[in-house]
């Protein structure tokens, strides 16, 4: 008989393969784009942080900035988690007058030793901002900072699709939530619909390039003229937000708050709808959900494989040309 440890190991391996096949990342592995390197070093930073090797983690966080400058958000996310962990361990001593002074010195020393590398990374990033006069390395006018709240709703919908096997598990609990909180759900859905209706805007790049899937997602689903924006989409996004929070049951309130705040800081300033911006928060969410059953992992792998094969097929065998550039072949991609 196969021992329980062997079954758990096999499930972990299968889950790793499934996560490695995540479509928005899998496709760009073949194009040698910055996303695989960006995610790799963010995860390496997070891994060493979990193993209490924060100095080494900060080095990998600094390297991740070379691939994508917005990774500074995830460096700060890890640094904040490390800081709160130190405060949590010493809170009982800090709350007592007899031990407060000594405990404060210990906490400050631990914070400096643990987060010193993150502080250096932050200072280096600030120096980069001053020298570069902004975060963007390319055309700064095309990547101006905005206040695009719907990006968070799009992310929740993104998680509903690619995290389908996780989200489906929450349906029964969400049903009970609806029965007990009808008014709250109505207010959340109405508020979401209002924000989508009043704040949804399309970046010129999105409208000008029909080679990317986001062009068709916007045109057929997210466009403010679409009736779905007023009826079904707010419900889907509220369900996605609730399910994302519910699936992180093994994480405490502090971790979840920092994660959602970091996700918002990384997404809301972006005017352009781009699925690649969702990769890091999605993978971090997927790694921190409760343990998945073998059925869930297999179903996730099947879903990812179908999407990957379809994307590669369309990219290779369904090229097209633009009327104004009849001699240049265009291809569909993420």
Q: Does 228 map to a domain?
A: yes
> How much is the pLDDT for 107?
87
Q: Does 224 map to a domain?
A: yes
> How much is the pLDDT for 141?
67
- Same domain membership, residue 16 and residue 40: no
List, for residues 202-218, the tens digit of each pLDDT value: 898 899 899 999 999 99
Please tell me whether the overall predicted TM-score, pTM, comes out greater than 0.85 for this model: yes
Counting residues of the chain whose pLDDT is more than 90, the rounded percentage is 69
Q: Tell which phi-psi region holds residue 6, choosing left (phi > 0), alpha (psi between -120 and 50) or beta.
A: alpha
Domain boundary among 99, 119, 137: 137
| pLDDT of residue 328 exceeding 80 | yes
- Same domain membership, residue 287 and residue 150: yes
**What secondary structure does DSSP assign to 227-246, as a single string?**
GGGTTHHHHHHHHHHHHHHH
Q: Determine the number of helices (DSSP H) and then strands (DSSP E) in the chain.
A: 16, 2
Q: Does 283 map to a domain?
A: yes
The CA-CA-CA angle for residues 252, 285, 268, to 5°, reads: 100
Q: Does 216 map to a domain?
A: yes
> How much is the pLDDT for 273?
94
Q: Does 235 map to a domain?
A: yes
List, for residues 66-88, the tens digit of each pLDDT value: 999 999 999 999 999 999 999 99
- Same domain membership, residue 322 and residue 242: no
Q: CA 78, CA 42: separation in Å to the nearest integer?
A: 10
| 142 DSSP 8-state letter | G
- Over residues 248-258, the mean pLDDT reads 94
Confidence of residue 169 (pLDDT cuts 50, 70, 90): confident
| pLDDT of residue 137 exceeding 90 | no
Taking the CB of residue 202, how many other CB atoms lie within 10 A of it?
18
Q: What domain range includes position 127?
A: 33-137
Distances (CA, A) of 249 to 180, 218, 239, 314: 20, 32, 16, 38
| pLDDT of residue 90 exceeding 60 | yes
**More confident site: 4 or 303:** 303
Domain count, the chain: 3
- Same domain membership, residue 233 and residue 125: no
Q: Does 150 map to a domain?
A: yes
Which structure tokens are listed for 267?
């997404």
Rounded to a whole number of angstroms, the CA Rg of the chain reads 22
- DSSP three-state, residue 2: coil
Maximum Cα interatomic distance, the chain, rounded to a whole number of Å: 80
> How much is the pLDDT for 133?
83
> How much is the pLDDT for 52?
94
Q: CA 280, CA 78: separation in Å to the nearest integer?
A: 13
């Amino acid at each position: 008989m196969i021992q329980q440890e062997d079954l758990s190991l096999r499930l972990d391996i299968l889950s790793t393969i499934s996560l490695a096949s995540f479509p928005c990342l899998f496709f760009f592995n073949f194009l040698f784009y910055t996303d695989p390197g960006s995610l790799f070093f963010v995860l390496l930073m997070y891994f060493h942080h979990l193993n209490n090797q924060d100095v080494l983690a900060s080095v990998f966080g600094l390297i991740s900035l070379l691939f994508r400058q917005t990774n500074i958000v995830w460096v700060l996310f890890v640094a904040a988690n490390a800081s709160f962990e130190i405060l949590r361990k010493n809170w009982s001593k800090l709350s007592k007058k007899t031990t407060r002074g000594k405990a404060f010195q210990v906490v400050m020393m631990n914070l400096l030793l643990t987060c010193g590398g993150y502080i250096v990374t932050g200072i280096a990033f600030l120096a980069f901002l001053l020298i570069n006069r902004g975060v963007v390395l390319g055309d700064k006018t095309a990547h101006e900072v905005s206040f695009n709240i719907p990006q968070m709703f799009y992310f929740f919908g993104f998680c509903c699709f690619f995290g389908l096997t996780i989200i489906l598990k929450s349906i029964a609990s969400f049903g009970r939530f609806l029965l007990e909180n009808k008014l709250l759900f109505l207010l959340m859905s109405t508020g979401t619909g209002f924000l989508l209706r009043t704040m949804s805007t399309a970046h010129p790049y999105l409208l000008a390039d029909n080679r990317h899937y986001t062009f068709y997602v916007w045109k057929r689903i997210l466009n403010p003229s679409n009736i779905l924006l007023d009826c079904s989409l707010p419900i889907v996004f509220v369900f996605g937000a609730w399910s994302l929070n519910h699936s992180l049951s093994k994480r405490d309130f502090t971790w979840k708050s920092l994660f959602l705040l970091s996700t918002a800081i990384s997404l809301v300033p972006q005017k352009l709808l781009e699925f690649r911006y969702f990769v890091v928060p999605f993978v971090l969410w997927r790694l921190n959900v409760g343990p998945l059953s073998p059925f869930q992992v297999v179903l996730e792998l099947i879903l990812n494989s179908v999407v990957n094969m379809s994307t590669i097929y369309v990219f290779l065998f369904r090229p097209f040309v633009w009327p104004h550039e009849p001699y240049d072949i265009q291809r569909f991609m993420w």
